[in-house]
Structure 1
């Protein structure tokens, strides 16, 4: 029997009531990414296009989006969520610091109506958003993203802010409005190198067919109409086309018809094998799929005796074949879970491995930055500031941060500086140790065992400066009590020798102000219990 996706998944979009990327891989490992305006072209300079299953820059160098979703413009707040708590630039800085290189920015067509007024924004924290409409706020997000190197693609998430629609149009927002708004945006951002593409419609489902020939429901025909209209206005953009929900004989979406196969909304690209999307510029097409775990809906494959080893074949069938056959790039535009269930942790481990590392892996944007996604949560916790390091730990090894462009990025930050000097002077102090050792510090260390699974552990470590002067260039050392071996870390540069571990600051968190804290996380393997260390030293001095 065909399996469909739980319609209540739309609850994940919470609504708050008022109270140069990326560094994709260079063809030659270690090639420098230059500042905007440099005479020499940098890896990632656009416009982008496709070559087989790979996105490439204007010079043909492979680029890869490893990004995140930040939603809100598609809701009745008509602005990205969290601005009631934080400054938007601060949030974008955090996205970059966590290692993401791309932002998927959802919107609803309703945001462009004159009656749609952005709300739930703390204008004391965001004074330059005061008085702007939804498009003006979108401009601000995109402008600052470009300044810090993030790339952005836009996602028509729904026609109106009330909820997800199965088709790309409704009676209130007809197909003509869907096309005209996309053309407006294509013209509005023409020549803006930060915006790289258009995700034409989020999660076609239900009545949406593929290759049926019915203009009212055939998503493949609509994608061609919308995509070609965009390219006529702005030939630089990538056209991102999601799958639908069910695919059967003759392109039907009838889940009860013999031979019909169903998966997540937007996740079924089986029809593209025989009915591909035909664009006037074929090398601008990127297919996209969405994947979720049991916190959204418990699909039958989660209970298969071979789980999780059955998953790659399912992904190959639904969407992975397009990239593996070198037909077109595939973007996994949404994937997420609360990760409270072991089965979901196994799912995400397998999915990240399937998507791969380095420049040749699948493009992806994680759902989501926002913590108010009802059935997945987010990378940020409910305070909109603290990072969920357990979730981030699954994704971190697969990110290609802004400014990091080796062909196969390392799993953990390098422990020694590069031997080749940068082509431009660094804008931040070097991370190499100073010639004189830093002063010993007054400190307190909190070790949280966190969540784990069989044979693996995860821990969050917080250092508090209990002294009266700032701590700079910190280095924390401890000895494991058991046989823990660290395999992944974030917000630190870490080395391990036997049971002794040394965690040093990253280039963006090297100073701990008096009374302030800094946190980082680790994951690894252990045969027994994840017993916490009993002694820590910071810059040579003991911590309590």
Structure 2
């Protein structure tokens, strides 16, 4: 039986920063102990995420993309200031940001573009890891948790497998362990979404070292945990499991018989992606009992894991939230299902320039789509707050 999980009211300690710019984890943890706030690290406990004291944590966030693209910077900074963007994400009630990046971002030749320096003078000259640091620190200083997402090997496109002719498996793992070590003392950088949307050639449980995503996730996940034992390891599904086709990254059927095996099993989070007819008109959208047929579709592909391993809906989204449209019915049914079952999510996307889905922001990059935000507010975890900050209304 699926039991709805109730989110606890939690606070998160943003790490203090010393005069030399170094993060002070000890001060953060001491502060959290005194205030009863959430203490890093997060871990799995059965089918839910909990903090170090066993308090339930639910991630309810958004994707802010751009660092994986040819601009090598978060999108929208041509229109506004980066700090105001983070302030608005927080004020909209989200407690997590999933940050996509490409491995190419860290190459010296990958100069950041698309930034209005009149609006963002403090970003002048920053690129790669230094620019990521600025955004990550700005987010975590505001009490927002950050999940890093290896979205693409290079800025050109997503890839079926975790490696390509340009980016080897070793480079993929090396970049992850570099990031895991780099952010080790920032407790609000919570984990690694290892590879976005394995598909095509990707298999699960076949034992083929070249295509078996489950084995690759174990190799990378265990390397990351060796570098940073505190991180969550987020593993997406594939597209096709034994001729059962589903969304890219959405098919976790293989995890039933061949679960991911990590050196620290309580760091595993499975992360399906699920979309509506705006992305592709799947057969189930035209069923006579739509949308009541959707839970059975989800149960087959990923929802059977509820109560066993934490689930993060890493991507879902669409343009219409109207209860009178096929897409709106799908979005509302999806969010209701996540709420009823205490599932975490990071909505796609904050950006309005996602061609298939649009975003929480409108095309002016300033105002929010209020109908979409109102829908999402139906399942948002209590507002994340640093100790000492003025009390804010629970969301």
What's the TM-score once normalised by structure 1's chain length? 0.66
1:314 alignment counterpart = 297
Q: CA deviation at 1:402?
A: 2.4
2:137 alignment counterpart = 143
2:104 alignment counterpart = 110
* CA distance, structure 2, for counterparts of residue 108 and residue 71 of structure 1: 11
1:395 alignment counterpart = 376
Name the CA shift for 1:424/1:163 in 2 (closer, same or farther; >3 Å).
Answer: closer
- The structure in which a higher percent of residues are helix is 2
Where 2:316 maps in the other structure, the secondary structure is strand
Gaps in structure 2 of 5+ consecutive residues: 1-5, 16-27
Larger radius of gyration: 1
Q: CA deviation at 1:33?
A: 6.4
Where 2:346 maps in the other structure, the secondary structure is strand
Where 1:290 maps in the other structure, the secondary structure is coil
* CA distance, structure 2, for counterparts of residue 114 and residue 35 of structure 1: 30
Please, which of 229, 238, 259 is the counterpart of residue 235 of structure 1? 229
1:485 alignment counterpart = none
Say whether the 8 Å CA contact 1:43–1:61 is kept in structure 2.
no
Deviations 1:20-39 (A, max 9, x none): xxxx943xxx6776776425
Say whether the 8 Å CA contact 1:240–1:286 is kept in structure 2.
yes
* CA distance, structure 1, for counterparts of residue 277 and residue 171 of structure 2: 35
Name the CA shift for 1:299/1:118 in 2 (closer, same or farther; >3 Å).
Answer: same
Q: CA deviation at 1:426?
A: 2.9
Matches within 5 A, 1:286-365: 286-323=269-306, 326-339=307-320, 342-356=325-339, 361-365=342-346
2:179 alignment counterpart = 185
Gaps in structure 1 of 5+ consecutive residues: 1-23, 249-259, 406-422, 432-492, 494-505, 507-544
- The structure in which a higher percent of residues are strand is 1
Name the CA shift for 1:374/1:236 in 2 (closer, same or farther; >3 Å).
Answer: same
Q: CA deviation at 1:229?
A: 0.3
Q: CA deviation at 1:60?
A: 1.1
Say if 2:262 is the partner of 1:285: no
Higher RCO, 1 or 2 (CA under 8 Å, sep at least 6)?
A: 2
Name the CA shift for 1:221/1:96 in 2 (closer, same or farther; >3 Å).
Answer: same
* CA distance, structure 1, for counterparts of residue 13 and residue 171 of structure 2: 39
1:218 alignment counterpart = 212
* CA distance, structure 2, for counterparts of residue 136 and residue 385 of structure 1: 26
1:60 alignment counterpart = 54
What's the TM-score once normalised by structure 2's chain length? 0.90
2:253 alignment counterpart = 270
Matches within 5 A, 1:16-95: 25-26=7-8, 37=28, 38=31, 39-40=33-34, 42-95=36-89
Where 2:327 maps in the other structure, the secondary structure is helix
Deviations 1:395-421 (A, max 9, x none): 11111242479xxxxxxxxxxxxxxxx
Please, which of 167, 185, 200 is the counterpart of residue 194 of structure 2? 200
* CA distance, structure 2, for counterparts of residue 274 and residue 43 of structure 1: 38
CA RMSD of aligned residues (A): 2.1
Please, which of 339, 361, 379 is the counterpart of residue 360 of structure 2? 379
* CA distance, structure 2, for counterparts of residue 289 and residue 425 of structure 1: 35
Deviations 1:339-363 (A, max 9, x none): 1770011111111111016xx6101
Say if 2:94 is the partner of 1:100: yes
| Matched residues, number | 373
Where 1:154 maps in the other structure, the secondary structure is strand
Where 2:235 maps in the other structure, the secondary structure is strand
Q: CA deviation at 1:42?
A: 3.4
* CA distance, structure 2, for counterparts of residue 330 and residue 117 of structure 1: 35
Matches within 5 A, 1:440-451: none
Name the CA shift for 1:135/1:34 in 2 (closer, same or farther; >3 Å).
Answer: closer
Query: Deviation above 4 Å: which 4+ runs of structure 1?
Result: 30-37
* CA distance, structure 2, for counterparts of residue 171 and residue 99 of structure 1: 41
Deviations 1:315-349 (A, max 9, x none): 111111112xx221010000011117700111111
1:173 alignment counterpart = 167
Name the CA shift for 1:174/1:267 in 2 (closer, same or farther; >3 Å).
Answer: same
